[in-house]
Copies of this chain bind each other. A is one copy, B any other.
Amino acid sequence: MTERSGAASAARRLAPRLAARAAAHDRDGSFPVDDFTDLREAGLFGLMVPAELGGAGATFAAYAAVATELARGNGATALVFNMHASVTGALGAVTEELAEALGVPAEALAARDRLLRAAADGAWYAVAMSERGAGARLSQLATVYEPVDGGWRIKGSKTFCSGAGHADGYLVAARSAADPSVVSQFLVPAGEGLTVEPTWDALGMRATASHDLHLDVTVGTDRLLGGVEGLALVVAQLMPHWLVASYAAVYVGVARAAIDAAAEHLNARNLAGLPAVRARLGRADAAVAAAELAVAEAARRVDEAPGDEETNRWVWRAKLLAGTTAADVAASMLEAAGTSATRRGHPLERLYRDARCGSLHPATSDVCADWLGIATLGGDPDRDGSSPRW
């Protein structure tokens, strides 16, 4: 509990600094380098690193609280941080029992420990998973790897790589050239062999620098995560929360930021007395409060029983509620604030665009609704779901 409040408080203290820089990064689509310096100095890169490796050993619930607070400052910064938290959180969650069950050799665990220690010391990692055409579906990747002298050669192109060009390392999923059914994950260090193609120029979350990343790189043996090939899908199934729920916490923060910005704007113009405005803010407040509870509940259950059926339902609920609430609330807050809030540089102008993105991250709101519906009807989403986007 102590570490949790500590990290969330640190994030809350940082939020105004992030907010002050948000407009410029949004305008230019530039990466918030200073935000990440702040995050490093606040020790947040070690948030998910186990205490014995020098980190804060935070729970998923603690992560969610941090992400929401950061997103109240800048949703884009929180989204990129989310990727780092996913990588370190998933690595840190591999227990000795699990490692043994998966056949992870000791030297792979040692390599894992080095990566986590580095994070606790201030390194941060990005995720290079999606590909054009394949989306985030591991089963359809075109990036391949093969063993070479002293390591692995990886070749392919990734898209939507948040933080591309700024991270210290990249979690890369690739399939074996020898056996296409084998998908493995590597932690590729920044440097030669990686080329960033600046393709990211989007409606919202512009400062994430989610550019394309081209890989033609050789990495050391110890960069194969888990030390044995073919673990990518296993890990994905064990930790679906990192692929879905971690977004939700971000969008709750974005939605709350929209309410805050609208209240400030309306008070400054003496429009707080308008009944229509009050109704909009009241309903928005209730909706965001409920979404925040859903995210917290999902996170609590992820900590208690990760991957469980009921946990997964909470993860989908959180994702669905956060995504739809953020978009609806930001649209309503902009309408409450009026034309003067549509000027570029006004927080609501940016938040309206950022907020729209939450439902679109995988699993989309429509997919979450489908999965939840199947589960509510007693079915099995894995078996019955159409969800061709996942």
Q: Is A110 close to B, CB under 8 A?
A: no
A289 surroundings in chain B (CB, below 8 A): 294, 297, 314, 317
Please, which residue of chain B has its CB at the minimum distance from the CB of A343?
B202
**B272–A377 contact, CB under 8 A?**
yes
B282 touches A373 (CB 8 A): yes
Asked if A285 contacts B357 (CB within 8 A), the reply is: no
Closest B-chain residue to A385, C-beta based?
Answer: B278
A389 within 8 A of B: yes
Copies in the complex: 4
Contact between B278 and A377 (Cβ–Cβ < 8 Å)? yes
Instruction: Tell me whether A35 is interfacial, beta carbon within 8 Å.
Output: no
The interface size of chain A toward B, counting residues with CB under 8 Å, comes to 76
Mark each residue of chain A from 87 to 122: 1 if its CB lies under 8 Å from any CB of chain B, else 0. 000000000000000000000000000000000000
Using CB atoms, name the residue of chain B closest to A335.
Answer: B359
Measured between alpha carbons, how far is A279 from B177 in the docked complex, in Å? 40
Contact across chains for A275 and B276 when beta carbons are under 8 A apart: yes
How far is it, in angstroms, between the C-alpha of A334 and the C-alpha of B366 when the chains are bound?
Answer: 12
Q: Do A335 and B365 have beta carbons less than 8 Å apart?
A: yes
Is A9 in the interface zone, CB < 8 Å from B? no
Contact A344 B201 (CB under 8 A): yes
Chain B residues closer than 8 Å to A144, beta-carbon distance = none
Give A289 to B318 CA distance when docked, in angstroms: 10
In the bound complex, CA of A279 to CA of B365 (Å): 10
A370-B290 contact given A160-B339, A349-B202, CB 8 Å threshold: no
CB <8 Å contact, B373 and A279:
yes
**Docked-complex contact A278 and B364, CB < 8 angstroms:** no
Q: How far is the CA of A160 from the CA of B361 in the complex (A)?
A: 36
Q: Determine the distance from Cα of A369 to Cα of B287 in the docked complex, in whole angstroms.
A: 11
Determine whether the beta carbon of A361 is less than 8 Å from that of B374. Answer: no
A293 close to chain B: CB less than 8 A: yes
A286 and B279 in contact, given A377-B263, A386-B274 (Cβ under 8 angstroms): no
* A interface residues, Cβ below 8 angstroms from B: 160, 201-204, 259, 263, 266-267, 271-287, 289-291, 293-294, 297, 313-314, 316-317, 320-321, 327, 331, 334-335, 338-339, 342-345, 349, 352-353, 356-357, 359-361, 364-379, 384, 386, 388-389
15 A-B residue pairs with Cβ-Cβ distance under 8 Å, sorted by A, are: A203-B349, A263-B376, A275-B275, A275-B386, A276-B366, A279-B373, A282-B320, A282-B371, A282-B375, A283-B373, A286-B320, A286-B321, A293-B294, A334-B360, A335-B366
Q: What are the nearest 9 A-B pairs in CB distance?
A: A278-B373, A282-B373, A275-B275, A282-B372, A282-B369, A276-B366, A293-B293, A290-B290, A203-B342
